[in-house]
């Protein structure tokens, strides 16, 4: 069995009080803090970078799950390691040598994730998966929050879970109480959600619902 990990996306939080938002999410039951890093080039939006992670690190005990939606992610490995990132997730589409990048990330003491866009075939992951801690299957086009969940990405999740039963498989984009069941049934166990948590009347209840859906979808021991 793989453990459920709920990762609120701080992109939907209040950036003027980012550390407090991180601690609030942890108190509500979050496992990871998902940090969306966008460069205005690989994706059209521009968000935070390593200096923000460095400033945040002393103020939160949380696991900083950094999703780099950036061109040439190789150039940021040292900066994010020095800033205190716990997991460095790069996009397969953004690098020419993913295996060398995996090695570089791990050499700097971070856990390694690799993300694929909705139109990227899942088989690009197969040879690299044994070297990864986490695979992120995007369920929206990366770059903006608030997009609708793409159920057509679920066969990729299912294919990964079938081949790699112990792998952390993350999904990001449009995850909400009405879409979590599809993701959980497909085999996702790491759930990124922004607006569905931060804008909820009871964020803790949404986090709990996500966790229950994942646990309920696990095969019986």
**Residues annotated in the binding site, as ranges?**
9, 34, 36, 67, 143-146, 172, 174, 194-195
DSSP H/E element including 214: helix 203-217
For residue 135, the cross-strand partners are 114, 169
DSSP labels, 141-190: -TT-SSPPP-GGGHHHHHHHHHH-TTSEEEEESS--TTTHHHHHHHT--E
**Residues annotated in the binding site for a divalent metal cation, as ranges?**
34, 36, 67, 172
Annotation marks residue 123 as catalytic: no
Annotation marks residue 36 as catalytic: yes
Q: Do 209 and 180 contact (CB within 8 A), yes or no?
A: yes
Marked catalytic residue, from 86, 168, 172, 216: 172
**Residues annotated in the binding site for substrate, as ranges?**
9, 67, 143-146, 174, 194-195
Marked catalytic residue, from 36, 39, 65, 168: 36
Q: Which residues are catalytic?
A: 36, 172
């Amino acid at each position: 069995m793989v453990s459920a990990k709920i990762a609120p996306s701080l992109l939907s939080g209040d950036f003027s009080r980012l550390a407090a938002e991180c601690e609030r999410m942890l108190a509500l039951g979050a496992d990871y803090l998902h940090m969306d890093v966008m460069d205005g080039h690989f994706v059209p939006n521009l968000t935070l970078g390593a200096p923000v992670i460095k400033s945040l690190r002393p103020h939160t005990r949380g696991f900083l799950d950094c999703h780099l939606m950036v061109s040439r992610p190789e150039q940021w490995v040292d900066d994010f390691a020095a800033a205190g990132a716990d997991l460095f997730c790069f996009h397969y589409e953004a690098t020419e040598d993913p295996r060398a990048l995996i090695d570089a990330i791990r050499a700097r003491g971070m856990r390694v994730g690799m993300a694929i866009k909705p139109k990227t075939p899942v088989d690009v992951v197969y040879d690299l998966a044994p070297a990864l801690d986490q695979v992120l299957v995007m369920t929206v086009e990366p770059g903006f929050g608030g997009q609708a969940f793409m159920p057509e990405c679920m066969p990729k999740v299912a294919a990964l879970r079938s081949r790699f039963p112990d792998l952390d498989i993350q999904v990001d984009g449009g995850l909400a109480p009405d879409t979590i069941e599809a993701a959980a049934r497909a085999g996702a166990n790491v759930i990124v959600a922004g607006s569905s948590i931060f804008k909820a009347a009871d964020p803790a209840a949404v986090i709990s619902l996500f966790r229950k859906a994942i646990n309920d979808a696990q095969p019986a021991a």
